[in-house]
Amino acid sequence: MKRLLIICAIMLGTMGTVSAQKIGYVNTETILNKIPAYKTAQTQLENLNQQYQKEVEAGYQKVEELYKVYQADKILLTEDMKKRREDEIINKEKEVKELQRKYFGQDGTLSKKSEELLKPIQDKVMNAIKDIANDDGYAMIIDVANNQSIIFTAPRYDISDKVIGKLGYK
C-alpha cells in the first residue's frame, strides 16, 4: 500500500511537471523566406547549379558525339584504331562523371557553396529560436517545415513571427 502511494505521488508530480511545460513550434521555411539574404543565396545557388548542370550535360553530349562518330567509322578502323577510340570515349566519360561528382557530390563544390552561403543565416535563425525559447521558458520548440509526421498544430503555439521579429524582419 505504501509503495502504491509513492508511485501515485511520483506520477502526479511528473504529470504536473509535464503539463506545465511550454511547447511551441516554428516553420523555418517561412522564417528563412522572410530573410532577403537567404533568398539571394538561394538564387546564387540555383544559378551555380544551372551553370554546373550545363557543363556536365555538354560533357555527356561530347561523349555521345564521340560514340556516334566511332559507330559510323567502326567498319573502316583497324583493331588498334578501334581500341584507341574506345579508350578515348571511356576516358572522356570518366572525366565527365568526375566533373559531375566534383560539382554535385556530397562534398562537391555546390554543397560547399551552399554551406558557405546558408549556414550563417541558418545559425542566426537557430540562435534567435534558442533565445526566444530561453527567454519565454519553452521546454521544446518543434520545426514543422517539411515534417510530414505532424498532422496538426494550433496556430497559437506558432512562434515563427516572433523569431522573424527578433531577427529584425517583418
Q: What is the pTM of this model?
A: 0.73
Q: How far apart are CA 114 and CA 46, in angstroms?
A: 10
Show me where the domains of the chain are located: 20-166
The structural architecture, per CATH, of the domain 20-166 is 2-Layer Sandwich (3.30)
pLDDT single digits (tens) 64-84: 999 999 999 999 999 999 999
As a whole number of Å, the end-to-end CA separation of the chain is 59
Q: How far apart are CA 161 and CA 60, in angstroms?
A: 47
Tens of pLDDT along the chain (170 residues) come to: 444 334 444 544 554 444 568 889 999 999 999 999 999 999 999 999 999 999 999 999 999 999 999 999 999 999 999 999 999 999 999 999 999 999 999 999 999 999 999 999 999 999 999 999 999 998 889 888 887 677 677 888 888 888 999 898 88
